[in-house]
Structure 1
Amino acid sequence: MFGRLARMDTTTYVFDLLKIILPALIVAGVIFFLIKEYLQKEQQRRLIEYRLETSKTTLPLRLQAFERITLLLERITPNNLLVRLSSAGQTAPDYHRQLLQEIRAEYEHNLSQQLYMSPETWGQVKQAKENVLTMINKAYHAMPTPQQARGTELAKRVLETLINEEVDPTAQALFSVKREAAQLF
């Protein structure tokens, strides 16, 4: 009889203990879940604030980079390049060298701007530079006697190539730069 009573007391004790522990565990679980949700929301809010603060700094830098690359592409466009660098009084080899040097210098001066644009757009810029260099090299090597020709003859050949191909070698890159810059807004 005493064993039965002890079992009943133990059973009652266990049930009473469960009556206390089970609601406490449920409340602790709910509190844990609520705190976890709050901390996640707080972290998201901080991340949004950080991105907003960062964009205040980086947006002007990115816009400046797009402006500089646009200027680079405009400066190496054959029409503008030939007008800016006069061929008067130069031999074709000297003028050829000057054109190539100017394109490479412009490009190297703006290499750091690739940090602010997508790899695809930067690839278009690199390709535009290569297209212009190729166009000038082809025009130079297509001359009958380039070593004896004048710089004006090379300039004329480059313009003829540009007209015959009917494609601006920098147009695609310029379009990509403008499209990406427009996505900032």
Structure 2
Amino acid sequence: MTSFSGYLPYAFALIIAIPFLVLLRQFVFTHIKLKEQEIKLLAMKSNSDNKTQSYERMTLFMERMKPSNLIQRFDKNLAPHEFIFLTEKSINEEFDYNSSQQLYITKNSWKNIVDSKNAIIDTLHKTYEGINGNATLDEFKTIFIMNYMEDEDYISKTIEDLRREILIIA
């Protein structure tokens, strides 16, 4: 019996230490799981913020493409063909700048945005072809707006679709 009495303090320390180590291990694993969940939630929030910002940027792009806003750009002393060139260049540059937003926008909305951009550019060119280059810039702008109004208001429709989608996301 004397041989075990020397180990008694160690056995007592083990009996006390083992439950403590088990609880410590459980605490650490629980803490790690909570931190992983926190990181996931932050990533989801960040993704949601990116989506919201994308919808805002593309709505602004669509607003800027409305003919009533396009005709206010550039010098009034331009010829219609110069206005068309600069307007088309401006639309394409802004579109290219925002093209990364398609990562956060639904395919349908992105298609509507691209279609609207192309339709505005087509309307610019068709208006110019219709006047045969025989109009002042003010006359061209008036005819351009009238041609747009005769068609379906695809820009406003696209903006409304973007609004509906962002409400679903938010």
Place the TM-score, normalised by the shorter chain, in its bin. Answer: 0.7 to 0.9
Residue 83 of structure 2 aligns with which residue?
95
Structure 1 residue 176 corresponds to structure 2 residue 161: yes
Q: CA deviation at 1:152?
A: 1.8
* Secondary structure of the corresponding residue to residue 52 of structure 1: helix
Q: CA contact under 8 A between 1:94 and 1:151: conserved in structure 2?
A: no
Give the number of aligned pairs: 138
- 1:112-145 CA distances to partner (integer Å, 9 max, x unpaired)? 10011111111111111111111111111101x3
Q: How does the TM-score come out when normalised to structure 2?
A: 0.72
How far is the alpha carbon of 1:155 from its aligned partner? 0.7
CA distance in structure 2 between the aligned counterparts of 1:51 and 1:124, rounded to whole angstroms: 32
Give yes or no for the alignment of 1:58 onto 2:44: no
Matched, 1:157 2:143: yes
Contact 1:121 1:176 (8 Å CA) reproduced: yes
**Does residue 82 of the first structure (1) align with residue 71 of the second (2)?**
yes
Query: Shift of the alpha carbon at 1:107?
Result: 0.8
Q: How does 1:96-111 map to 2 (within 5 A)?
A: 96-111=84-99
TM-score, normalized by length of structure 1? 0.67
Q: Share of identical aligned residues, percent?
A: 22
The question of whether the paired residues in 2 share the 8 Å contact of 1:140 and 1:157 is answered with no
Residues 87, 151 of structure 1: 8 Å contact kept? no
- Tell me the distance in 1 between the aligned counterparts of 2:66 and 2:37: 41
Structure 2, unpaired ranges of 5+: 1-33
Q: Distance in 2 between matches of 1:161 and 1:119?
A: 28
Contact 1:96 1:154 in 2 (8 A): no
Larger Rg: 1
> In 2, Cα distance between the equivalents of 1:102 and 1:79?
15
Aligned to 1:114: 102
Q: CA deviation at 1:49?
A: 5.7
Q: Which runs of 5+ in 1 are unaligned?
A: 1-44
CA distance in 2, matches of 1:180, 1:155: 33
**Alpha-carbon separation, structure 2, partners of 1:172 and 1:155:** 22
Higher relative contact order (CA 8 A, sep 6+): 2
What do residues 22-57 of structure 1 show as CA deviations (whole Å, max 9, x unaligned)? xxxxxxxxxxxxxxxxxxxxxxx9997664232121
CA RMSD of aligned residues (A): 2.2
2: distance between equivalents of 1:163 and 1:170? 11
| Secondary structure class of the residue paired with 2:108 | helix
2:59 maps to 1:73: no
